[in-house]
């Protein structure tokens, strides 16, 4: 009986203890000192820091997803502005990630060592806060980054690169292939980065440069900043030039099919024979490709276009970011097809690997 009574008393005491713990966990049952600070709440709302164990490094052979983002302080940058001519290091970080800040001087040293040899570093901040706040944290830490700082406030780039814990360091070769992916940072990891960068800088550049599409599209504008225009037009006859230097008119009386493409977009390259077929089948309609890459790829673009004579190519380039025609039509990803009537008004827009039959039926109506 004594054993049974003792057992019942133990169960009762355990129940009381659990009840007390639950009551203490309720709002208002603890003092203010035990409440999480606003800063800890903010930190918990974003990507978390890897704080246990060694950093995890994986040698990868997969295409880097294309992306674009706004820059800290203004402007925008695209991965496609750098791939092709550079070995690229991406550093994903947050202002709440101590090891991220600890890693930065080592990344800066790599930039100082290899920038002139062709290394490009893109710092990708994943916080939702203002530029002022992010900049102030860097200043307080005594960190000055002389390379682009991209704001991934929606964490869309982080999602494409499967970033779950910070920091994450990604090294991409000149052909657009991820060669190293590391989660976390421990002192000395920079020696591994140095070795991979040195090897990739010495490697022969491949001819086929490709970035991985997301949902069949290769993105080149920051998420949420462009919306494809589906009606209206440029408002007046628009004059531009092809790569060969010839004048090209939009809204000059002839219907036009514009095919927006990137050298890094594999689905785009696969569509070129179809565009040539359309140009031959509809001689009364202007069919032109609009390249959205950048001036430093001019030779590569010309070399590719030479395979498709009779299909004019319009270089819609800027030093960094979207060109004038892409911005005017809200084109933020490739492949994209837009058909204009003779007055320059939009009659059709399609993105991704659109069925050739749909485009043909629209062109038939303009005959």
- How confident is the prediction along the chain (367 residues), in pLDDT tens digits per residue? 443 343 443 343 434 333 433 333 444 333 444 445 555 555 555 788 987 767 888 877 789 999 999 999 999 999 998 998 899 999 999 999 999 999 999 999 999 999 999 999 999 999 999 999 999 999 999 999 999 999 999 999 999 999 999 999 999 999 999 999 999 999 999 999 999 999 999 998 776 778 988 777 888 888 777 788 888 877 667 899 999 999 999 888 899 999 999 988 988 999 999 999 999 999 999 999 999 988 878 888 999 999 999 899 999 998 766 789 998 899 989 999 999 999 889 999 998 877 788 999 999 999 8
Is the C-alpha dihedral spanning 50, 54, 58, 59 positive or negative? positive
Residue 114, token pair as written in the block: 């290899």
Tell me which residue of 334, 288, 337 sits closest to 68, measured CA to CA. 334
pLDDT of residue 241: 95
Tell me which residue of 99, 108, 114 sits closest to 187, measured CA to CA. 99
pLDDT of residue 42: 55
Tell me which residue of 138, 60, 64, 145 sits closest to 94, measured CA to CA. 138
How far apart, in whole angstroms, are the C-alpha atoms of residue 117 and residue 122?
16
Burial class (CB in 10 A: 0-12, 13-18, 19+), 140: exposed
pLDDT of residue 16: 38
Please count the other Cβ atoms lying within 10 Å of the Cβ belonging to residue 37. Answer: 8
List helix spans (H) across the chain: 2-25, 38-45, 98-114, 131-140, 156-160, 189-202, 266-281, 298-305, 324-329, 356-365
Tell me which residue of 125, 120, 132, 129 sits closest to 151, measured CA to CA. 125
How far apart, in whole angstroms, are the C-alpha atoms of residue 108 and residue 201?
17
pLDDT of residue 124: 99
Task: Give me the domains of the chain, ranges plus CATH numbers.
Answer: 45-202 (3.40.30.10), 218-365 (3.40.30.10)
- Across 155-189, b (16+ Cβ under 10 Å) vs e yields bbbbebbebebbbbbbbbbbbbbbbbbbbbbeeeb
Burial class (CB in 10 A: 0-12, 13-18, 19+), 238: middle
CB 108 within 8 A of CB 193: no
Tabulate helix, strand, coil % of the chain (nearest 5).
35, 25, 40
How far apart, in whole angstroms, are the C-alpha atoms of residue 162 and residue 170?
11
How far apart, in whole angstroms, are the C-alpha atoms of residue 122 and residue 299?
25
Q: Is 141 left (phi over 0), alpha (psi -120 to 50) or beta?
A: alpha
Tell me which residue of 165, 151, 190 sits closest to 180, measured CA to CA. 190
């Amino acid at each position: 009986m004594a054993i049974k009574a003792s057992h019942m008393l133990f169960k009762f005491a355990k129940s009381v203890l659990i009840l007390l713990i639950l009551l203490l966990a309720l709002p208002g049952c603890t003092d203010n000192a035990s409440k999480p600070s606003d800063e800890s709440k903010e930190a918990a709302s974003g990507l978390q820091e890897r704080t246990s164990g060694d950093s995890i490094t994986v040698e990868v052979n997969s295409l880097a997803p294309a992306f674009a983002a706004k820059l800290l302080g203004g402007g925008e940058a695209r991965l496609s502005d750098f791939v092709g001519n550079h070995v690229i290091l991406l550093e994903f970080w947050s202002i709440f990630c101590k090891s991220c800040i600890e890693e930065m001087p080592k990344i800066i040293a790599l930039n100082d060592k290899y920038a002139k040899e062709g290394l490009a570093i893109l710092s990708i901040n994943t916080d939702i806060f203002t530029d002022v706040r992010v900049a102030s944290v860097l200043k307080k830490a005594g960190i000055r980054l002389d390379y682009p700082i991209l704001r991934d406030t929606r964490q869309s780039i982080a999602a494409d690169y499967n970033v779950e814990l910070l920091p994450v360091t990604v090294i991409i070769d000149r052909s657009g292939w991820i060669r190293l992916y590391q989660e976390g940072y421990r002192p000395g990891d920079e020696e591994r980065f140095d070795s991979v960068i040195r090897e990739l800088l010495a490697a022969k550049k491949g001819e086929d440069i490709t970035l991985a599409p997301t949902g069949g599209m290769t993105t080149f504008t920051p998420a949420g900043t462009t919306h494809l225009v589906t009606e209206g037009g440029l408002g007046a006859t628009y004059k531009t030039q092809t790569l060969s230097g010839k004048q090209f008119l939009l809204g000059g009386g002839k219907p036009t099919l514009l095919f927006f493409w990137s050298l890094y977009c594999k689905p785009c390259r696969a569509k070129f024979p179809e565009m040539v077929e359309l140009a031959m089948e509809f001689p009364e309609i202007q069919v032109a490709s609009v390249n959205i890459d950048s001036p430093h790829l001019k030779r590569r673009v010309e070399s590719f276009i030479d395979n498709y004579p009779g299909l004019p190519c319009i270089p819609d380039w800027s030093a960094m970011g979207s060109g004038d025609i892409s911005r005017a039509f809200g084109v933020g990803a490739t492949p994209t097809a837009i058909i204009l009537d003779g007055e320059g008004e939009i009659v059709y827009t399609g993105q991704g690997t659109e069925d050739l039959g749909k485009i043909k039926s629209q062109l038939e109506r303009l005959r």
